[in-house]
Protein backbone atom coordinates (compact mmCIF):
# COMPACT_ATOMS: atom_id res chain seq x y z
CA UNK A 1 0.00 0.00 0.00
CA UNK A 2 1.46 3.35 -1.01
CA UNK A 3 1.16 6.18 1.47
CA UNK A 4 0.97 9.71 0.08
CA UNK A 5 2.13 12.49 2.35
CA UNK A 6 -0.14 15.53 1.89
CA UNK A 7 1.53 18.73 0.78
CA UNK A 8 0.39 22.06 -0.57
CA UNK A 9 0.53 21.83 -4.35
CA UNK A 10 1.69 24.66 -6.55
CA UNK A 11 0.09 24.86 -9.99
CA UNK A 12 2.87 25.03 -12.55
CA UNK A 13 3.10 24.77 -16.29
CA UNK A 14 6.72 23.68 -16.64
CA UNK A 15 7.93 21.96 -19.77
CA UNK A 16 11.31 20.80 -20.97
CA UNK A 17 11.34 23.72 -23.36
CA UNK A 18 10.77 26.25 -20.59
CA UNK A 19 13.94 25.00 -18.87
CA UNK A 20 16.06 25.39 -21.98
CA UNK A 21 19.13 27.59 -21.67
CA UNK A 22 18.27 31.23 -22.39
CA UNK A 23 20.34 33.38 -24.73
CA UNK A 24 23.05 35.69 -23.35
CA UNK A 25 22.02 39.14 -22.09
CA UNK A 26 21.25 41.66 -24.79
CA UNK A 27 24.39 43.04 -26.41
CA UNK A 28 26.73 40.31 -25.15
CA UNK A 29 28.74 38.92 -28.05
CA UNK A 30 32.21 37.38 -28.27
CA UNK A 31 35.09 39.79 -28.82
CA UNK A 32 35.99 40.20 -32.45
CA UNK A 33 39.42 39.29 -33.75
CA UNK A 34 41.60 42.39 -33.43
CA UNK A 35 39.86 43.63 -30.26
CA UNK A 36 41.85 44.64 -27.18
CA UNK A 37 41.63 42.50 -24.06
CA UNK A 38 39.18 44.06 -21.56
CA UNK A 39 40.67 44.79 -18.16
CA UNK A 40 39.51 42.96 -15.03
CA UNK A 41 40.15 42.55 -11.32
CA UNK A 42 38.75 39.33 -9.94
CA UNK A 43 39.15 37.13 -6.86
CA UNK A 44 41.03 33.87 -7.33
CA UNK A 45 40.97 30.51 -5.61
CA UNK A 46 44.28 31.45 -3.97
CA UNK A 47 42.52 34.12 -1.90
CA UNK A 48 44.00 37.05 -3.84
CA UNK A 49 42.61 39.47 -6.42
CA UNK A 50 44.11 39.31 -9.90
CA UNK A 51 44.13 41.87 -12.73
CA UNK A 52 44.96 41.77 -16.42
CA UNK A 53 48.11 43.86 -15.86
CA UNK A 54 49.52 41.14 -13.61
CA UNK A 55 50.23 39.05 -16.70
CA UNK A 56 51.82 41.78 -18.83
CA UNK A 57 55.17 39.99 -19.13
CA UNK A 58 53.73 37.13 -21.17
CA UNK A 59 54.02 37.44 -24.97
CA UNK A 60 50.91 35.28 -25.36
CA UNK A 61 47.97 35.39 -22.96
CA UNK A 62 45.07 32.93 -22.99
CA UNK A 63 41.87 33.83 -21.13
CA UNK A 64 39.83 30.68 -20.65
CA UNK A 65 36.23 30.78 -19.44
CA UNK A 66 35.42 27.53 -17.71
CA UNK A 67 33.62 26.22 -14.62
CA UNK A 68 33.38 23.38 -12.12
CA UNK A 69 30.22 21.60 -13.19
CA UNK A 70 30.12 21.44 -16.99
CA UNK A 71 31.13 18.01 -18.39
CA UNK A 72 32.71 19.65 -21.45
CA UNK A 73 34.76 21.96 -19.22
CA UNK A 74 35.81 19.07 -17.01
CA UNK A 75 36.67 17.00 -20.05
CA UNK A 76 39.04 19.73 -21.24
CA UNK A 77 40.80 20.19 -17.89
CA UNK A 78 43.54 17.64 -18.50
CA UNK A 79 44.29 19.24 -21.87
CA UNK A 80 44.39 22.72 -20.33
CA UNK A 81 46.82 21.55 -17.67
CA UNK A 82 48.95 19.95 -20.40
CA UNK A 83 49.02 23.19 -22.37
CA UNK A 84 50.18 25.10 -19.28
CA UNK A 85 52.84 22.48 -18.58
CA UNK A 86 54.05 22.19 -22.17
CA UNK A 87 54.46 25.96 -22.53
CA UNK A 88 55.85 26.56 -19.05
CA UNK A 89 59.27 27.48 -20.50
CA UNK A 90 57.73 29.87 -23.05
CA UNK A 91 56.47 33.44 -22.67
CA UNK A 92 52.92 32.18 -22.23
CA UNK A 93 50.26 32.59 -19.54
CA UNK A 94 46.82 31.02 -19.19
CA UNK A 95 44.21 32.45 -16.84
CA UNK A 96 40.91 30.66 -16.21
CA UNK A 97 37.75 32.52 -15.22
CA UNK A 98 34.45 31.04 -14.10
CA UNK A 99 31.65 33.17 -15.61
CA UNK A 100 28.70 31.45 -13.95
CA UNK A 101 26.25 32.87 -11.46
CA UNK A 102 25.97 29.97 -8.97
CA UNK A 103 22.32 30.76 -8.20
CA UNK A 104 21.45 30.27 -11.87
CA UNK A 105 22.52 26.62 -11.91
CA UNK A 106 19.80 24.03 -11.31
CA UNK A 107 20.72 21.23 -8.93
CA UNK A 108 20.31 18.59 -11.63
CA UNK A 109 22.82 20.46 -13.81
CA UNK A 110 25.49 19.34 -11.34
CA UNK A 111 25.15 15.66 -12.25
CA UNK A 112 28.70 15.44 -13.61
CA UNK A 113 30.34 17.23 -10.71
CA UNK A 114 30.98 17.05 -6.99
CA UNK A 115 30.78 20.81 -6.53
CA UNK A 116 28.73 23.79 -7.67
CA UNK A 117 30.11 27.03 -9.07
CA UNK A 118 30.59 29.22 -5.99
CA UNK A 119 34.03 30.63 -5.25
CA UNK A 120 34.38 28.26 -2.29
CA UNK A 121 33.45 25.34 -4.54
CA UNK A 122 36.02 26.53 -7.09
CA UNK A 123 38.72 26.38 -4.42
CA UNK A 124 37.84 22.77 -3.63
CA UNK A 125 37.56 21.78 -7.28
CA UNK A 126 40.91 23.37 -8.18
CA UNK A 127 42.62 21.63 -5.27
CA UNK A 128 41.08 18.24 -6.01
CA UNK A 129 42.12 18.44 -9.66
CA UNK A 130 45.58 20.00 -9.21
CA UNK A 131 45.00 23.11 -11.29
CA UNK A 132 48.31 24.62 -12.39
CA UNK A 133 46.89 27.96 -13.52
CA UNK A 134 45.07 30.92 -11.92
CA UNK A 135 41.34 30.27 -11.49
CA UNK A 136 39.26 33.42 -11.01
CA UNK A 137 35.61 34.04 -10.10
CA UNK A 138 33.33 36.37 -12.07
CA UNK A 139 30.01 35.02 -10.81
CA UNK A 140 29.23 38.00 -8.61
CA UNK A 141 28.86 40.63 -11.35
CA UNK A 142 29.68 38.73 -14.59
CA UNK A 143 31.01 42.01 -15.99
CA UNK A 144 34.24 40.45 -17.25
CA UNK A 145 32.37 37.57 -18.88
CA UNK A 146 30.05 40.04 -20.61
CA UNK A 147 32.99 42.16 -21.79
CA UNK A 148 34.71 39.16 -23.38
CA UNK A 149 31.46 37.65 -24.62
CA UNK A 150 31.99 34.29 -22.94
CA UNK A 151 29.11 32.21 -24.27
CA UNK A 152 30.12 28.75 -23.08
CA UNK A 153 32.39 26.76 -20.83
CA UNK A 154 35.01 26.25 -22.09
CA UNK A 155 35.49 29.32 -24.30
CA UNK A 156 39.06 30.51 -24.90
CA UNK A 157 40.44 33.86 -26.07
CA UNK A 158 44.12 34.13 -27.02
CA UNK A 159 45.93 37.49 -27.20
CA UNK A 160 49.33 38.58 -28.50
CA UNK A 161 51.91 40.73 -26.69
CA UNK A 162 49.90 43.91 -27.37
CA UNK A 163 46.82 42.12 -25.99
CA UNK A 164 45.15 42.06 -29.35
CA UNK A 165 42.79 39.14 -29.80
CA UNK A 166 44.20 36.68 -32.32
CA UNK A 167 42.15 33.53 -31.64
CA UNK A 168 38.75 32.79 -30.08
CA UNK A 169 36.60 29.68 -29.76
CA UNK A 170 37.16 26.08 -28.73
CA UNK A 171 40.24 24.59 -27.07
CA UNK A 172 40.22 21.78 -29.63
CA UNK A 173 37.69 19.85 -31.67
CA UNK A 174 36.97 17.05 -29.17
CA UNK A 175 33.74 16.94 -27.20
CA UNK A 176 35.13 14.27 -24.88
CA UNK A 177 37.58 13.88 -22.04
CA UNK A 178 39.87 11.48 -23.91
CA UNK A 179 42.76 13.36 -25.60
CA UNK A 180 42.98 10.63 -28.26
CA UNK A 181 39.71 11.95 -29.74
CA UNK A 182 41.32 15.28 -30.71
CA UNK A 183 41.91 15.88 -34.41
CA UNK A 184 42.45 19.65 -34.44
CA UNK A 185 44.51 21.33 -31.67
CA UNK A 186 43.13 24.80 -32.34
CA UNK A 187 44.35 26.61 -29.22
CA UNK A 188 47.80 25.04 -29.40
CA UNK A 189 48.05 25.94 -33.08
CA UNK A 190 47.26 29.57 -32.25
CA UNK A 191 49.77 29.67 -29.39
CA UNK A 192 52.51 28.12 -31.53
CA UNK A 193 51.90 30.62 -34.33
CA UNK A 194 51.98 33.65 -32.03
CA UNK A 195 55.13 32.50 -30.23
CA UNK A 196 56.76 32.04 -33.63
CA UNK A 197 55.66 35.49 -34.81
CA UNK A 198 53.36 34.04 -37.44
CA UNK A 199 49.73 34.47 -38.39
CA UNK A 200 47.24 32.25 -36.59
CA UNK A 201 46.11 29.61 -39.12
CA UNK A 202 42.47 29.53 -37.94
CA UNK A 203 41.36 32.61 -36.02
CA UNK A 204 37.84 31.65 -34.99
CA UNK A 205 36.04 28.43 -34.15
CA UNK A 206 32.79 27.60 -32.38
CA UNK A 207 33.05 27.14 -28.64
CA UNK A 208 31.66 23.82 -27.46
CA UNK A 209 30.29 23.41 -23.95
CA UNK A 210 27.59 24.37 -21.48
CA UNK A 211 26.08 27.81 -21.88
CA UNK A 212 27.17 30.50 -19.46
CA UNK A 213 24.78 30.63 -16.53
CA UNK A 214 23.75 34.29 -16.60
CA UNK A 215 22.18 35.80 -13.48
CA UNK A 216 18.90 36.51 -15.22
CA UNK A 217 18.37 32.73 -15.45
CA UNK A 218 17.60 32.56 -11.72
CA UNK A 219 13.86 32.49 -12.42
CA UNK A 220 14.30 29.15 -14.21
CA UNK A 221 15.95 27.73 -11.11
CA UNK A 222 13.02 29.01 -9.06
CA UNK A 223 10.56 27.28 -11.41
CA UNK A 224 12.56 24.07 -11.24
CA UNK A 225 12.52 24.14 -7.44
CA UNK A 226 8.82 24.98 -7.30
CA UNK A 227 8.05 22.07 -9.59
CA UNK A 228 9.91 19.72 -7.26
CA UNK A 229 8.28 21.12 -4.13
CA UNK A 230 4.86 20.50 -5.69
CA UNK A 231 5.54 16.77 -6.06
CA UNK A 232 4.02 14.23 -3.68
CA UNK A 233 6.18 12.42 -1.13
CA UNK A 234 5.31 8.73 -0.91
CA UNK A 235 6.34 5.71 1.15
CA UNK A 236 5.46 2.04 0.76
CA UNK A 237 6.00 -1.14 2.79
CA UNK A 238 8.87 -3.35 1.61
CA UNK A 239 9.01 -7.11 2.01
CA UNK A 240 12.27 -9.08 2.34
CA UNK A 241 11.81 -10.43 -1.18
CA UNK A 242 11.29 -6.94 -2.59
CA UNK A 243 14.34 -5.70 -0.68
CA UNK A 244 16.44 -8.45 -2.23
CA UNK A 245 15.23 -7.42 -5.66
CA UNK A 246 16.25 -3.81 -5.01
CA UNK A 247 19.73 -4.98 -4.05
CA UNK A 248 20.05 -7.18 -7.16
CA UNK A 249 19.65 -3.97 -9.20
CA UNK A 250 18.69 -5.42 -12.55
CA UNK A 251 18.84 -1.90 -14.05
CA UNK A 252 21.54 0.23 -15.62
CA UNK A 253 21.34 2.72 -12.74
CA UNK A 254 23.59 3.38 -9.78
CA UNK A 255 21.63 3.00 -6.55
CA UNK A 256 22.20 4.63 -3.19
CA UNK A 257 20.34 2.70 -0.48
CA UNK A 258 20.03 4.27 2.95
CA UNK A 259 18.83 2.52 6.14
CA UNK A 260 17.39 4.95 8.66
CA UNK A 261 14.84 5.37 11.46
CA UNK A 262 12.75 8.24 12.78
CA UNK A 263 14.32 7.95 16.27
CA UNK A 264 17.89 8.11 14.90
CA UNK A 265 19.33 11.64 15.18
CA UNK A 266 22.15 11.18 12.63
CA UNK A 267 19.65 9.62 10.21
CA UNK A 268 17.46 12.70 10.35
CA UNK A 269 20.52 14.95 10.25
CA UNK A 270 21.80 13.53 6.97
CA UNK A 271 18.41 13.33 5.23
CA UNK A 272 18.65 16.78 3.54
CA UNK A 273 21.97 15.74 1.99
CA UNK A 274 20.45 12.52 0.67
CA UNK A 275 17.51 14.37 -0.89
CA UNK A 276 19.93 16.80 -2.54
CA UNK A 277 22.04 13.93 -3.88
CA UNK A 278 18.95 12.29 -5.35
CA UNK A 279 18.08 15.50 -7.17
CA UNK A 280 21.64 16.29 -8.24
CA UNK A 281 22.16 13.02 -10.10
CA UNK A 282 18.66 12.48 -11.54
CA UNK A 283 19.94 13.01 -15.11
CA UNK A 284 22.66 10.36 -14.78
CA UNK A 285 20.64 7.19 -14.17
CA UNK A 286 20.62 7.23 -10.38
CA UNK A 287 18.30 6.18 -7.54
CA UNK A 288 18.37 7.47 -3.97
CA UNK A 289 16.40 4.87 -2.00
CA UNK A 290 15.48 5.19 1.68
CA UNK A 291 14.46 2.22 3.80
CA UNK A 292 13.02 2.97 7.23
CA UNK A 293 13.68 0.37 9.91
CA UNK A 294 10.83 1.64 12.10
CA UNK A 295 8.11 -0.75 13.21
CA UNK A 296 5.49 -1.52 10.51
CA UNK A 297 2.89 0.56 12.32
CA UNK A 298 5.11 3.65 12.07
CA UNK A 299 4.82 4.07 8.31
CA UNK A 300 2.89 7.33 8.66
CA UNK A 301 5.45 8.64 11.15
CA UNK A 302 8.30 7.78 8.77
CA UNK A 303 6.36 9.41 5.95
CA UNK A 304 5.96 12.59 7.96
CA UNK A 305 9.73 12.89 8.42
CA UNK A 306 10.30 12.23 4.73
CA UNK A 307 7.71 14.89 3.90
CA UNK A 308 9.43 17.47 6.11
CA UNK A 309 12.61 16.98 4.11
CA UNK A 310 10.58 16.65 0.90
CA UNK A 311 12.05 13.33 -0.17
CA UNK A 312 10.01 13.30 -3.39
CA UNK A 313 10.97 11.74 -6.69
CA UNK A 314 12.78 14.05 -9.11
CA UNK A 315 11.07 14.14 -12.49
CA UNK A 316 13.52 11.93 -14.40
CA UNK A 317 13.80 9.49 -11.50
CA UNK A 318 10.03 9.19 -11.45
CA UNK A 319 10.03 8.37 -15.17
CA UNK A 320 12.68 5.68 -14.72
CA UNK A 321 10.73 4.10 -11.87
CA UNK A 322 7.65 3.89 -14.07
CA UNK A 323 9.74 1.92 -16.56
CA UNK A 324 10.68 -0.49 -13.76
CA UNK A 325 7.12 -0.80 -12.52
CA UNK A 326 7.87 0.88 -9.18
CA UNK A 327 6.18 3.98 -7.81
CA UNK A 328 8.43 5.21 -4.98
CA UNK A 329 11.98 5.20 -3.66
CA UNK A 330 10.93 5.47 0.00
CA UNK A 331 10.15 2.29 1.90
CA UNK A 332 9.45 0.93 5.38
CA UNK A 333 10.87 -2.57 5.82
CA UNK A 334 8.44 -5.25 7.01
CA UNK A 335 10.82 -7.66 8.65
CA UNK A 336 13.64 -8.04 11.15
CA UNK A 337 17.06 -6.45 11.16
CA UNK A 338 18.59 -9.78 10.23
CA UNK A 339 16.20 -10.19 7.29
CA UNK A 340 17.08 -6.71 6.03
CA UNK A 341 20.80 -7.41 6.32
CA UNK A 342 20.51 -10.73 4.50
CA UNK A 343 18.40 -9.16 1.75
CA UNK A 344 20.59 -6.12 1.08
CA UNK A 345 23.94 -6.00 2.90
CA UNK A 346 25.10 -8.98 4.97
CA UNK A 347 28.04 -6.90 6.27
CA UNK A 348 25.66 -4.44 7.95
CA UNK A 349 25.99 -4.72 11.73
CA UNK A 350 22.62 -3.12 12.47
CA UNK A 351 23.90 0.38 13.22
CA UNK A 352 22.06 3.41 11.85
CA UNK A 353 22.32 5.20 9.57
CA UNK A 354 23.84 2.85 7.01
CA UNK A 355 24.36 3.72 3.35
CA UNK A 356 25.55 1.67 0.39
CA UNK A 357 26.11 2.34 -3.31
CA UNK A 358 25.01 -0.54 -5.53
CA UNK A 359 26.24 -0.78 -9.12
CA UNK A 360 24.11 -2.27 -11.90
CA UNK A 361 24.08 -6.00 -11.34
CA UNK A 362 24.09 -5.75 -7.54
CA UNK A 363 27.73 -5.20 -6.52
CA UNK A 364 28.16 -2.97 -3.47
CA UNK A 365 30.92 -0.54 -4.43
CA UNK A 366 30.84 1.68 -1.35
CA UNK A 367 29.37 1.56 2.14
CA UNK A 368 29.18 3.98 5.05
CA UNK A 369 28.16 2.97 8.57
CA UNK A 370 27.23 6.21 10.27
CA UNK A 371 26.38 9.66 8.94
CA UNK A 372 27.61 10.29 5.41
CA UNK A 373 30.11 12.94 4.34
CA UNK A 374 28.23 14.51 1.39
CA UNK A 375 31.40 15.45 -0.50
CA UNK A 376 32.87 11.99 -0.05
CA UNK A 377 29.75 10.19 -1.26
CA UNK A 378 29.33 12.59 -4.20
CA UNK A 379 32.95 11.98 -5.16
CA UNK A 380 32.37 8.23 -5.24
CA UNK A 381 29.21 8.71 -7.29
CA UNK A 382 30.93 10.97 -9.83
CA UNK A 383 33.91 8.61 -10.05
CA UNK A 384 31.48 5.82 -10.88
CA UNK A 385 29.30 7.77 -13.33
CA UNK A 386 32.09 9.86 -14.90
CA UNK A 387 32.96 13.57 -14.87
CA UNK A 388 32.57 14.12 -18.59
CA UNK A 389 30.63 12.91 -21.57
CA UNK A 390 31.91 9.77 -23.23
CA UNK A 391 30.99 8.35 -26.66
CA UNK A 392 30.88 4.86 -25.14
For the chain, report the end-to-end CA distance as a whole number of angstroms.
40
CA 257/CA 358 separation, integer angstroms:
8
Residue 165 · residue 158 · CB < 8 Å: yes
Q: Are 149 and 169 in contact (CB under 8 A)?
A: no
Res 224 pLDDT > 50? yes
Sheet of 92-98: strand order equals 135-137, 92-98, 60-65, 155-159, 165-169
DSSP code for 173: S
**Distance set, CA 228 to CA 268, 287, 318 (Å):** 20, 16, 11
Tell me the mean pLDDT in the region 117-123: 98
Same domain? For 209 and 280 the reply is: no
Last residue of a domain, one of 186, 215, 244: 215
Confidence of residue 18 (pLDDT cuts 50, 70, 90): very low
What CATH number is associated with residue 206? Answer: 3.40.30.10
Measured distance CA(236)–CA(252) in Å, rounded:
23
Position 7 scores a pLDDT of 33
Q: What is the pLDDT of residues 362-387, one digit of tens each?
A: 999 999 999 999 999 999 999 999 99
Residue 105 lies in a domain: yes
Residue 15 has pLDDT above 90, yes or no: no
**pLDDT tens per residue across span 176-218:** 888 889 999 999 999 999 999 999 999 999 999 999 999 998 9
Q: What residues make up the domain containing 241? A: 231-385
pLDDT of residue 176: 85
Task: Please choose, from the candidates 97, 91, 73, 98, the residue with its C-alpha nearest in 3D space to the C-alpha of residue 171.
Answer: 73
Q: In terms of domains, do 47 and 129 share one?
A: yes
Residue 49 vs residue 180, higher pLDDT: 49
Tell whether the model's pLDDT for residue 1 goes beyond 70. no
State residue 16's pLDDT score.
34
CA nearest to 21, candidates 99, 101, 104: 104
Enter the pTM of the model: 0.91
Q: Per the domain annotation, does 8 fall within a domain?
A: no
Confidence of residue 24 (pLDDT cuts 50, 70, 90): confident
Q: Which of 175, 295, 193 is nearest to 237 (CA)?
A: 295
| Beta carbons of 211 and 152 less than 8 angstroms apart | yes
Shared-domain flag, residues 210 and 235: no
97 domain residue, yes or no = yes
The number of domains in the chain is 2
Indicate whether 44 and 164 sit together in one domain: yes
Cβ contacts of residue 197 below 8 Å, gap of 6+?
Answer: none
- Which of 183, 215, 247 finishes a domain? 215
Residues 290, 201, single domain; the answer is no
Together in a domain, 270 and 342? yes
Query: What is the layout of strands, in order, in the sheet containing 254-260?
Result: 3-5, 233-238, 330-333, 286-292, 254-260, 354-358, 364-369
Q: Output the pLDDT for position 3.
A: 54
**Of the candidates 236, 255, 233, the residue with the CA atom closest to the CA atom of residue 312:** 233
Of 181, 215, 249, the last residue of a domain is 215
Task: Tell me the per-residue pLDDT of 355-368, one tens digit each, with 9 for 90 and over.
Answer: 999 999 999 999 99
Amino acid sequence: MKRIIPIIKVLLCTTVGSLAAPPPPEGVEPLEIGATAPDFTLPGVDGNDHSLSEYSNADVLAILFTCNHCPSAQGAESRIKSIVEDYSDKSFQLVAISPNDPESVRLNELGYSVYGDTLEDMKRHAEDNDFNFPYLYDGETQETSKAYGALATPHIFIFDKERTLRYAGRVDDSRYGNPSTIESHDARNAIDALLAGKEVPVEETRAHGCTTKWAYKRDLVTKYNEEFEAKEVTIEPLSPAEAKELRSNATDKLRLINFWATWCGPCVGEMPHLVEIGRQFETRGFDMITISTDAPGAIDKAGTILSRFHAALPRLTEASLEEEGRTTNNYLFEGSTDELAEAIDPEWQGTLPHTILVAPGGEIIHRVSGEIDPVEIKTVIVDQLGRFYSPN
